[in-house]
Chain A
Amino acid sequence: GAVVSQHPSRVICKSGTSVKIECRSLDFQATTMFWYRQFPKQSLMLMATSNEGSKATYEQGVEKDKFLINHASLTLSTLTVTSAHPEDSSFYICSARQDGAAGQPQHFGDGTRLSIL
């Protein structure tokens, strides 16, 4: 149980393109999902908290207009990197926290490798 599916796994596109990444919780409901960015050989950096039915909460320094987040249902959150540039190339990972008791862990997708040419 507690499977999170992230799609696509890899994207290569030209500079200026907008890229949408999907994160789905397959067998549980997730009011809250999270989007991370990971640079090579580093830990995960939280970008934003995605809340079903309301606006996402962005971490300091993350551009809201650059990284658009939509959480339209209890099982789906999307991250759109708008007008992507080479510096946006990175490994993006989503997670979903199962609704319920405190202390529930986050379950992670397999990540999306984004390469902007």
Chain B
Amino acid sequence: AQSVTQLGSHVSVSEGALVLLRCNYSSSVPPYLFWYVQYPNQGLQLLLKYTTGATLVKGINGFEAEFKKSETSFHLTKPSAHMSDAAEYFCAVSPFTGGGNKLTFGTGTQLKVEL
């Protein structure tokens, strides 16, 4: 079985500061990895994904994430936070084989951006 851990249910940064949202996964085989963002009363929007190949993946809105197999991590970063980045962020994994393409979500991290 696979699982996802997001450290820190709430993260607060100043506008212009580095954003770092942590995600660790547990899986017998490295899974497919995703980051989604959710704004209030909306669905989820895909930020980026890792399937194979280059371990540093770039997504929308200036976000990027690096897959580190040795650390079983897929942390999300952005060099400079903007007020519009305030939202809930979910890390998710999908099994490499089988599993019916289901997503397993982390519990989410609420990002607050302060002036």
Contact = CB atoms under 8 A, between A and B. Distances in A.
Interface of A: 4, 6, 32, 34, 42-44, 46, 49, 57, 91, 93, 95, 97, 102-111, 113
User: Chain A interface mostly helix, strand, loop or mixed?
Assistant: strand
A45 B88 CA distance: 16
Contact of A49 (B43, B46, B102): B102
Nearest to B39: A110
Contacts of A34: 102-103
A57 B46 CA distance: 24
Interface stretch (B64-72, B77-85, B104-112): B104-112
B44 A93 contact: yes
Nearest to A9: B41
Contacts, number: 54
Interface of B: 32, 34, 36, 41-46, 49, 51-52, 90, 94, 96, 100-103, 105-108
A97 to B, nearest CB: 6
B105 A111 contact: no
Contacts of A105: 34, 46, 49
Contact of A43 (B51, B52, B90, B96): B90
A107 B102 contact: no
A104 B32 CA distance: 9
A104 to B, nearest CB: 8
13 contacts: A32-B101, A43-B90, A43-B106, A43-B108, A44-B44, A46-B102, A102-B51, A103-B49, A103-B51, A105-B34, A108-B36, A108-B44, A113-B41
Given A44-B90, A93-B43, A111-B42, A106 B107 contact: no
B107 A107 contact: no
A46 B102 CA distance: 9
Contacts of A110: 42-43
